[in-house]
Amino acid sequence: MNTIDAAFDGKLGTFHLDVAFTAPTRGITAVFGQSGCGKTSVLRCIAGLTRLPGRLNVGGDVWQDDETGVFRKPYRRPIGYVFQEASLFPHLSVAGNLTYGAKRASRSDGSNGVAFDDVVDLLGIAPLMGRAPMALSGGERQRVAIGRALLSRPRLLLMDEPLAALDRFAKDEILPYLEAIQDSLEMPILYVSHDMSEVARLAEHMIVLNKGRKVAEGEVGQVLERLDLHPATGRFEAGVIVTARVVDHDHAIKITHADLYGQKIDIPLVDAEPGHEIRLRVRARDVSLATERPKGISIRNVIAGKITEINEESETAYAETLVDIGGARLRARITRASVADLDLQAGKPVYALVKSITFDRRAFAGETR
């Protein structure tokens, strides 16, 4: 069994968690939702720190099965746990914290896990080895905490909003290291977040929670296209992920020309060779629609497509639309008045207008995985 099969159903005080999901045993699966939806509770159940009725099978290894009376204690579960705060031992150096993680390692299958030097190189923490935790930046502390978790030889890495306590600069610094982990290690990662930009950049699979229940699960791109999930995912950062192929670069004006399913687009200059594929996140609020190809405008990207779905929000002035661009779909958040004025309906040809600057630089992932 090459999946993580989990189901938990029970009360935590007045909060009722009722969640069942299946996640792959490689790559990052995001557990996404607004604050208080039960994300951390799911991780605690998987770690065995919270016990609720249910089941848990990790790659064919049963960690919990209430029907047969199986419940593996937390110390017998080969997991690495990374919290919002790094929680490093202040009396130990960086090297000491890492060594502690290695000493605490316990694997029933007898494997050696990731080598110490490999973890140090992967996370770029060799220059930090002799320093004390208090002498590190927030991003550096979190990289050390991730390293300590990896050196515990886990079969499963749990990350509970590991970037939540960091500022934007520190987040941008650490994100490439998280990408390197999933590219280099054949290890499943359950990554809790309420930040859609993190999910779009890092995850390949996602689970969406709302008020203690799962409301969606699947490949990230497919889930983000759903127009009915805004109560759980929010509207402001709603958008989709698309894949474009680099054509060439204009270094004089810092623009990359790319091919988006046969249509030309311009994006801010990226560090990728011609022919390479990149993932782009396009937010619904940054897309406008026109029924005729516009002329004399500053918007560089005019993408032909066809309306496939419209979801008008009766409680607001807005509507969410989905546009098929021949290989992918874009979301556009427009007013209901515009839907009426343009006579938009499923099947109608339109042009999606996207400014170059609205393609999220943080979502550039180099070659697609």
In a domain, 261, yes or no: no
DSSP labels, 146-178: HHHHHTT--SEEEEESTTTTS-HHHHHHHHHHH
Q: Are residues 223 and 103 in the same domain?
A: yes
What's the total number of domains in the chain? 2
Write b or e for each residue in 158-187: b if 16 or more Cβ atoms lie within 10 A of its Cβ, otherwise e. Answer: bbbbbbeebeeebbebbbebbbebbeebeb
pTM of this prediction exceeds 0.85: no
Q: Can you tell me the distance from the alpha carbon of 261 to that of 158, in angstroms, rounded to the nearest whole number?
A: 36
Instruction: Give the structural domain span for 287.
Output: 239-244+275-363
Look up residue 100 and give its DSSP letter.
H
In a domain, 260, yes or no: no
CATH number assigned to the domain comprising residue 320 = 2.40.50.100
Q: Are residues 67 and 183 in the same domain?
A: yes
Q: Are residues 228 and 279 in the same domain?
A: no
In a domain, 268, yes or no: no
- The residue out of 201, 233, 265 marking a domain boundary is 233
Tens of each residue's pLDDT in the chain, 369 residues = 589 999 999 999 999 999 999 999 889 999 999 889 999 999 999 999 999 999 999 999 999 999 999 999 999 999 999 998 888 999 999 999 998 877 766 444 444 568 889 999 999 999 999 999 999 999 999 999 999 999 988 999 999 999 988 888 888 888 888 988 888 888 899 999 988 888 888 899 999 999 999 999 999 988 988 888 877 776 666 888 899 999 999 999 999 999 999 999 999 998 889 999 988 889 899 999 999 999 999 999 999 999 999 999 888 899 999 999 998 999 999 999 999 999 999 999 999 999 877 665 545 544 444
Pairing of strands 277-283, 239-250: antiparallel
Contacting residues for 342 by C-beta, under 8 A, at least 6 apart: 289, 291, 350
- The residue out of 233, 253, 286 marking a domain boundary is 233
- The residue out of 168, 202, 233 marking a domain boundary is 233
Q: Are residues 95 and 189 in the same domain?
A: yes
pLDDT score recorded for residue 367: 44
pLDDT score recorded for residue 297: 92
Q: Are residues 172 and 67 in the same domain?
A: yes
Q: Can you tell me the distance from the alpha carbon of 38 to that of 33, in angstroms, rounded to the nearest whole number?
A: 8
Q: Can you tell me the distance from the alpha carbon of 268 to that of 356, in angstroms, rounded to the nearest whole number?
A: 7
Token pair for residue 283?
Answer: 């937010």
Q: Are residues 35 and 128 in the same domain?
A: yes
